Homo-oligomer: A and B are copies of this chain.
Amino acid sequence: MSDIAYFDNAATTFPKPEVVYRFMDSFYRECGVNAGRGQHKLSARANALIEETRDLILDLFHCSNKTVVFTKTATEALNLILSGITINSGCTVYISPFEHNAVTRMLHHLQDSIDFGIEVLEVDGDSKNYNMEEISKQFSEKRPCCIIVSHASNVCGAIAPINEIFTEGKKYDAVTVVDMCQTAGLIDTDLSSDIFDYAVFEGHKTLYAPMGVGGFICKASINIKPLIYGGTGIESANQNMPAEVPVKYEAGSHNISAIAGFNASIKWIKEKGIDHIYETEFENRRKLIEILSSFDNITVINSDNGIGVISCVFDGYSSDDIGYVLSNHDIAVRTGLHCSPYAHKFLGTFPAGTVRFSVSYFNNDKDFEKLTEALKYIEENS
């Protein structure tokens, strides 16, 4: 692990804070049981951990007026929301140009049975800034029934002005969905407003939690259809899922090991301070861009306003070729289309894809030195 310079943090942050590993292990050893209300002591303790973690999440997003639904992954959360909300024939669904396949493949699947349209929010090709004037026009020309926006692109890091977009969308009563996989726990965001219907998070990315837990923040009054049907530990005789939120959407056993890690990671974020984490990652992003931009054979796909996710194209080589050489230099990046083909179409890097470098709080000078050496090697051998 210490030998690898890890620039694949947009896939999953690695390493995690030491407290996350420790608490995952210790809690699972001590209390690795099925959570349940009114059951045995260990079960009640596991349940208390889950409820405390929900509260920590609501506090992190300044929205004690809302509730947290846990899923196993953000992909499940997005599937649940998109198949659960009402999208009728003739509707228009707006997406950003940067949506992940967890959104676009699900929408494509829904189009098999519902004849709705998909429009892409206007974003400037150079700056990657969202053009609010044009977006207002888009909405007035074709009323939005639903707006789905990646808070930050997992390909180029571009940040979306979700407050402005959703405020505009709410003039038309659109259902709003923000995919915060790349920003939750990194960009301090107040989700208390009614303009946010569904805010999806992934534990194991910017929240520094382990794999196995994602979810979304919503009003407790939501009443969409579940994606997964099964045991809930309550109302077992009822063959419908219980109406109560979040339990309606949480069939099956909670992953106590992952939620323990999540609990520890949010406490770590709060202790460090979300702004401090953002500034540290931003400084790592600055170093990364500085290094990448210093090589003439590399085209950096930049955005005026972005997180620490940077895509590059190398002269004369495919992204996979570069990934292979970097891997041989013990550098971890992700190459290709990053499960976001539409983002690459927008950026002009489809179908070849890019080499994606993504930093976290934990990248250090040694990582950047290693990267510089490897990029020099590639330049010299080009």
Which A residues are closer than 8 A to B by beta carbons?
Answer: 1, 4, 6, 8, 11-12, 14-16, 21, 24-25, 28-34, 36, 38-43, 72-76, 78-79, 100-102, 104-106, 108-109, 204, 210-212, 227-233, 236-237, 239-241, 251-258, 320, 323-324, 326-327, 330-341, 350-351
Q: State whether B32 touches A231 (Cβ < 8 A).
A: no
Which residue, of A78, A255, A337, has the highest number of chain B Cβ atoms within 10 A?
A255
Q: State whether B230 touches A41 (Cβ < 8 A).
A: no
State the Cβ distance, A169 to closest chain B Cβ, in Å: 24
* 18 cross-chain CB contacts under 8 A: A4-B41, A6-B33, A12-B33, A14-B32, A24-B25, A38-B323, A75-B228, A76-B252, A100-B231, A101-B251, A105-B230, A106-B229, A106-B230, A211-B257, A232-B339, A236-B337, A237-B351, A255-B258
State the Cβ distance, A88 to closest chain B Cβ, in Å: 17
Q: In the complex, what residues of B have CB within 8 A of residue A350's CB?
A: 237
Q: State whether B101 touches A236 (Cβ < 8 A).
A: yes
Q: In the complex, what residues of B have CB within 8 A of residue A231's CB?
A: 75, 100-102, 105, 339
Q: State whether A40 touches B323 (Cβ < 8 A).
A: yes
Q: In the complex, what residues of B have CB within 8 A of residue A15's CB?
A: 29, 32
Q: State whether A72 touches B32 (Cβ < 8 A).
A: no
Q: State whether B21 touches A28 (Cβ < 8 A).
A: yes
Inter-chain CA distance A232–B73, complex, in Å, is 13
Q: State whether B102 touches A236 (Cβ < 8 A).
A: no
The verdict on A332 contacting B41 (CB below 8 Å), with A24-B25, A102-B252 known, is yes
Inter-chain CA distance A41–B32, complex, in Å, is 31
The verdict on A236 contacting B341 (CB below 8 Å), with A28-B210, A31-B1, A102-B251 known, is yes
Q: In the complex, what residues of B have CB within 8 A of residue A323's CB?
A: 38-40
Inter-chain CA distance A212–B266, complex, in Å, is 20
State the Cβ distance, A10 to closest chain B Cβ, in Å: 9
Q: In the complex, what residues of B have CB within 8 A of residue A78's CB?
A: 230
Copies of this chain in the oligomer: 2
Query: A237: which of B11, B332, B337 is its contact (CB, 8 Å)?
Result: B337
Inter-chain CA distance A228–B8, complex, in Å, is 24
State the Cβ distance, A353 to closest chain B Cβ, in Å: 8
Q: State whether B40 touches A16 (Cβ < 8 A).
A: no
The verdict on A1 contacting B21 (CB below 8 Å), with A73-B252, A231-B339 known, is no
Nearest chain-B residue to A4 (Cβ)?
Answer: B42
The 9 closest A-B pairs by CB, nearest first: A231-B339, A75-B252, A102-B230, A40-B332, A72-B72, A75-B230, A236-B337, A11-B34, A73-B252
State the Cβ distance, A265 to closest chain B Cβ, in Å: 13
Query: A236: which of B8, B29, B339 is its contact (CB, 8 Å)?
Result: B339
Query: A12: which of B24, B34, B109, B324 is its contact (CB, 8 Å)?
Result: B34
Query: A257: which of B24, B31, B332 is its contact (CB, 8 Å)?
Result: B24
The verdict on A339 contacting B39 (CB below 8 Å), with A12-B33, A240-B105, A252-B76 known, is no
